[in-house]
Amino acid sequence: EIVDPMSGILPPEVVITGPELTPEEEAANIAAAEAAELEGEDDLLEEPVPRATFRARLSRARSTFSGYVGSILSRSEIDSDTWDELEEALIRADVGIGPATELLDSVRATVKERGITTPVDLIAAVKDEMKARLAGSVELARAEKSPSVWLFVGVNGVGKTTTIGKVGKRLTDSGSSVVMAAGDTFRAAAAEQLGTWADRCGADLVRGAEGGDPSSIIFDAIASAAAKGADVVLADTAGRLHTKTNLMEELAKVRRVADKGDGTVTEVLLVLDATTGQNGLQQARQFTEATDVTGVVLTKLDGSAKGGIVFAIRSELGMPVKLVGLGESADDLVDFDADEFVDALFDQE
């Protein structure tokens, strides 16, 4: 039984009155109250989530880096210890020895050229060099004629399925129609997981039997998208196989079959888990040999990732990081922004 807590407090004959309102004022009040109520309901349904920013989410990466930066800034001049500390900061942050050395060589040249003598100017030069090295377009390509096909590749557990869900949400939020292809037929529950994301964002899902042929599911999804006039096909692929078929051979086949369909493959996105650091690079090398990877989605850059892997990917593989995962929920996928990323790494607050 629901009890009205106010009942019995005021005797029923008491009527609370106020100054007389004109009918127009009354109508305006009611409209305002209804609008406020609707807003309130929205708040209940959807907690207001702060926008995922590099600054807010790169916790480990920032704490690793900012200690070194603080120490360098507290020195009165630039000496060999300063350079050692810079190098150590980069290596600790997962940049990798090769890329760190290259980066610092360029900075040394700049320091000489511009006659830089203070740590503040040195740090500014390092930031500029990092930003320049990471700059580039992060746009995801679309074909002139729909559907565009974006394949997602990567080993199990890196966040492929989640990323497809997040990308699907972005696309549908911006008015594009999306078909998801459950091409990871070897991981139990991958199709269900993708189905949940598809429901959530209003995308269609094409799936097949467990253990079925991923290529044919993706081919069917492209055909279905073409028939419906859908804009983008987001295709999940296997990250590990139960059969003896080599994963890389399988992916090469997926790519060939996808290319034969009624759509155009415009992106092959390699999903890498930032917390695996330099191991991720090894995976990346294998995948780039099997398919023409067009860009990287770096997931889990929140949490324990140290961030420098972004440089390693760019300088060792020449591939752009296009998207970054900063958390598990739908809105935690952002375009990679070199300036924002570098500023966040060095931020001392």
Site for ligand GDP in 290-309 (CB under 6 A): 299-300, 302-303
Binding segment (CB under 6 A) for ligand GDP, from list 174-182, 200-208, 246-254, 325-333? 325-333
Q: Give the closest residue to 311 by CA, choosing from 345, 270, 335.
A: 345
Residue 47 or 144: the one with the smaller Cβ distance to ligand GDP is 47
Min. distance of Cβ 160 from ligand GDP in angstroms? 3
Options 100, 158, 182, 345; binder of ligand GDP; rule CB under 6 A = 158
User: How many beta carbons lie within 10 A of that of residue 194, not counting itself?
Assistant: 27
139 counts as binding ligand GDP under rule CB under 6 A: no
Give dist(CA 235, CA 237) in Å, integer: 6
User: Cis ω on the peptide bond leading into residue 147 (within 30° of 0)?
Assistant: yes
- Based on the shown chain and the rule CB under 6 A, indicate whether residue 169 belongs to the binding site for ligand GDP: no
Pick from 146, 162, 172, 224: which binds ligand GDP (CB under 6 A)? 162
Choose between 187 and 314: whose C-beta lies nearer to ligand GDP: 187
Segment (H or E) for 178: strand 178-181
Phi, psi of 196 (to 5 degrees): -65, -45
Closest separation between CB of residue 57 and ligand GDP, Å?
9
Q: What is the C-alpha end-to-end distance of the chain, expressed in Å?
A: 53
Decide: 234 and 164 in contact? Cβ < 8 Å: yes
Burial class (CB in 10 A: 0-12, 13-18, 19+), 179: buried
- Binding-site string for ligand GDP from residue 33 to residue 72, where x marks contact by CB under 6 A and - marks none: ----------------------------------------
Residue 237 tokens, joined: 């692929």
Shortest distance, position 240 Cβ to ligand GDP, whole Å: 9
Q: Which residues bind ligand GDP (CB under 6 A)?
A: 154, 156-162, 239, 299-300, 302-303, 325-328, 332
